[in-house]
Chains A and B, each alone.
Chain A
Amino acid sequence: MLRAAAAAEQLAILALARADSVPSFAADGALSPPEVFSQQLVTGLSNGMIIALIAIGYTMVYGIVELINFAHGDLCMLGAFFALTAVGAFALDGASGAGGVVGLVALLVATAAFCGALNWSINRLAYRPLRSASKLSLLVAAIGASFVLVNLGLFWGGLPMEVFAGGTSAAAPKAFPALVEPKPAFTVGDVIVSRPDVLVLAVTVPLMLALTWLVRFTKLGKAMRAVAQNPVAAALMGIDVERVIGATFFIGGALGGFATVVYSIYNQTVGFQMGYRMGMDAFIAAVLGGIGNLPGAVLGGLVIGVVRAMSDGYVEARWTNAIVFGILILILVFRPSGLLGAKLREKV
């Protein structure tokens, strides 16, 4: 009842933004040609890759401390605000050519570092004291942390900077400059792949490969897998469990930082309540794939991205959230441990 006005305002603006970018094919009632389907598929896959990157942050943390890190989406929101501040402070939106690319890379790395450090700190301050508490306590603390971050986002949005529209309406969504212009990069048949689509691929795929390498082949990755399986045994083998958990939070947060920059460029709007939406999509993706399972998170992200795009295109955008949550509920009812998740058995 408290943030009603702000939320409605934001909903309206987001709906307008969507209406511009996503043509409604259902409106004219005609059967959609296959290119339209393919076009929605491209949009869906791009969004799906972003969602997947955020979902990895959920799934890594869940795998290691069995916590749904509720604050993860809001962490990404703060990352977007950080990026927007940096864009304003260093006038990155004016740069072009090689300078623009360097600026973009610097922005990505800085935001990732910011989000990683923030996630590490949240773990240190809020979750670490609760290591021996019940899972429910941990989840409640994460919800609390999420609310704190949302409030910090509200404060941040009130900064009197030009990129925040002077900060006079702290709660209002802010425009994020199109650092990569939404122009066609190339076409496949009649399907246009835009430059932001290419950006998404260029950022997400190498990161996922790097993460796979890290988890499979490095000492840290081995330690992470050991802690995920049995923290006590890992500690007995001389692994510094807290350090590994901290590293996991940092890496998960950093991936979220990369994702949030790409997301902001792709969608061109940021607001202090965006974390909730981003977090939900990513979390559902993680659950869909079986939480704790890295390839599952990527698969789940792609599925959610495509389902959203198809629902926007073929049903109606206003029903998309309901459809996505409906899918979540159905999956949990029929396969409570996700598509790729292993069945858990209670020890008696």
Chain B
Amino acid sequence: MAAARRNPWVPVAGLAALAAWPLLEPALPAWLQLGEPLTEVFVYAILALGLNVLTGFTGLLNLGVAAFAAIGAYAYSIATCEVYPFQLGFWPALAVTGAVGAIAGFALGAPTLRVRGDYLAIVTLGFGEIVKDVLVNLDAITKGTQGINPLPPPSILGTPLEARGQYWLYLGFVAATFLGVRALERSRVGRAWISIREDELASRAMGIRPDRAKMLAFATCAALAALSGALLVSRLSSSGEPSNYGFEVSIIALCIVIVGGIGSVRGTLLGAFVMVGMNSIVLVRLTEVLGSGAEGMAAAAPAADAGAPAHAWHFVRTWAHNVLLTPTNWKFLLFGLALVLMMIFRPQGILPPRAVHEDPPAPAPPGGGEAHA
């Protein structure tokens, strides 16, 4: 089993390639200028790594992870924006965001410890809705639908970072999150989470306290999601409006985890590139390419509207112009089909979690044959 060891150079090479990308960009054609969308991929990757802790490791389906991102985004915005008196710097504000996120995780986790399975999914979904509504309704604090801006950009030692610096910083955050989540997975904390997912009763009977473990999972998930929210808004320099953190974001995060491989840290990372890459790079580029074609359609469409009997071809052409020819309009279909097809044909995801995390101790005691292959 353990023979399926991964080549340790794969992640290093991947990281190096990603780190080198901005340096290569000037030499690349326009459609490969991916710094911007890749930074978005990084933000989603952190969100999904957080969700993977709760849903992947612990088996608690969370359909409201975007709410934690919203809480983080607003905590960061309020902590840093000049229209509030706090005006913390980037790093202290991130620390505050993480703490606020963890508290929000506890606040949702504590009352729902007894709620299980699919009911919990609906409660988390409701939590997502409540947070969104509250952020809109408390407009005296959150500026409602206007959003909070301007926000200071990410900085290191007081030096604001431009796009390329942000790219590297965010890549660093992804790498750190990856290592941290994997460290947890391979420790007693992660083992407790996974044992609860596999069989809560058996793990209880072995002395694991599921309540504590679940609370830790909630807090970890929420803190990481909040971090991703803070990173998102600090880059955009605006909190955006609360409806930006809706059900759809939660589902994209869930898609990432499921497509990548539920419970798999590497898979989640890969899933972020596949799903967000599809959404923010492929669909957007396609829309740009088709844009000129759609313009041509537009020229034909008014004539169809004005002309008396709508010819079938005109009907279809107008319809195509209205929605079908805009690839970004297909994204729900894409995400939905991804979920359904993955569940049917490859429920374990592209890169399923490795079954074996703990090796037997290195010094082989006498008598017991050596076990690693």
Contact = CB atoms under 8 A, between A and B. Distances in A.
* Chain A in direct contact with chain B (Cβ < 8 angstroms): yes
Contacts of A143: 63, 251, 254, 336, 339
Interface in A1-38: 1-4, 7-8, 11
A173 to B, nearest CB: 15
B123 A168 contact: no
A144 B323 contact: no
Given A151-B332, A322-B134, A144 B337 contact: yes
Nearest to B114: A336
B339 A147 contact: yes
A152 B201 CA distance: 42
A287 B254 CA distance: 23
A259 B116 CA distance: 30
A348 B336 contact: no
A17 B127 CA distance: 26
Given A160-B318, A167-B318, A284-B122, 11 more contacts: A4-B246, A8-B243, A136-B61, A140-B254, A143-B254, A147-B333, A147-B339, A150-B332, A280-B126, A318-B137, A325-B130
Nearest to A330: B111
- Chain B interface: which size bin? 35 or more
Contact of A4 (B136, B244, B322): B244
Contact of B126 (A148, A158, A325): A325
B25 interface: no
Interface stretch (A44-52, A126-134, A243-251): A126-134
Interface in A140-175: 140-141, 143-152, 154-155, 157-160, 166-168, 170
Interface stretch (B91-99, B216-224, B264-272, B340-348): B340-348
Contacts of B245: 1
B122 to A, nearest CB: 6
20 contacts: A2-B328, A7-B243, A126-B340, A136-B117, A139-B61, A140-B339, A143-B63, A144-B338, A148-B332, A150-B332, A155-B319, A155-B329, A159-B319, A167-B322, A168-B322, A280-B125, A280-B126, A284-B126, A322-B130, A322-B133
Contacts of A135: 117-118
B339 A160 contact: no
Contacts of A1: 240, 244-245, 248-249
Closest 6 CB pairs of A and B: A144-B339, A147-B336, A158-B323, A325-B126, A151-B332, A158-B322
Nearest to A139: B118
A129, A130, A154 interface centre (most CB from chain B within 10 Å):
A154
B319 A318 contact: no
A329 B112 contact: yes
A4, A136, A287, A325 interface centre (most CB from chain B within 10 Å):
A136
B189 interface: no
A160 to B, nearest CB: 4
Nearest to B124: A329
Contacts of A129: 344
Interface string A203-232: 000000000000000000000000000000
B96 to A, nearest CB: 23
Interface of B: 59, 61, 63, 111-112, 114-119, 121-123, 125-127, 129-130, 133-134, 136-137, 145, 201, 240-241, 243-249, 251, 254, 258, 279, 304-305, 310, 315, 318-319, 322-324, 328-333, 335-341, 343-344, 347
A287 B122 contact: yes
A186 interface: no
Interface residues of A, number: 57
Contact of B247 (A11, A158, A167, A276): A276
Contacts, number: 170
Contacts of B315: 160
Contacts of A149: 336
B242 to A, nearest CB: 9
Interface of A: 1-4, 7-8, 11, 68, 126, 129-130, 133, 135-141, 143-152, 154-155, 157-160, 166-168, 170, 276, 280, 283-284, 287, 318-319, 321-322, 325-326, 328-329, 332-333, 336, 346, 348
Contact of B319 (A2, A7, A140, A158): A158
A155 B324 contact: yes
Contacts of A138: 343
Contact of B344 (A141, A280, A326, A336): A141
A140 B258 contact: yes
A329 B249 contact: no
A88 to B, nearest CB: 12
B201 A348 contact: yes
A313 B51 CA distance: 38
Nearest to A334: B114
Given A8-B241, A144-B340, A148-B340, A332 B115 contact: yes
A160 B309 CA distance: 12
A329 B123 contact: yes
Contact of A126 (B63, B114, B122, B344): B344
A132 B181 CA distance: 31
Contact of A68 (B114, B121, B247): B121
Contact of A130 (B304, B324, B343): B343
A272 to B, nearest CB: 9
Contacts of B115: 332-333, 336
Contact of B129 (A133, A157, A160, A280): A280
Contacts of A147: 251, 332-333, 335-336, 339
Contact of A2 (B310, B331, B344): B331
B322, B329, B347 interface centre (most CB from chain A within 10 Å):
B322
A150 B329 CA distance: 11
B340 A145 contact: yes
B232 to A, nearest CB: 8
A284 B119 CA distance: 10
B118 A329 contact: no
A226 B245 CA distance: 43
A11 B341 CA distance: 32
A167 B251 CA distance: 27
B344 A130 contact: yes
Contacts of B332: 147-148, 150-151, 154
B107 to A, nearest CB: 11
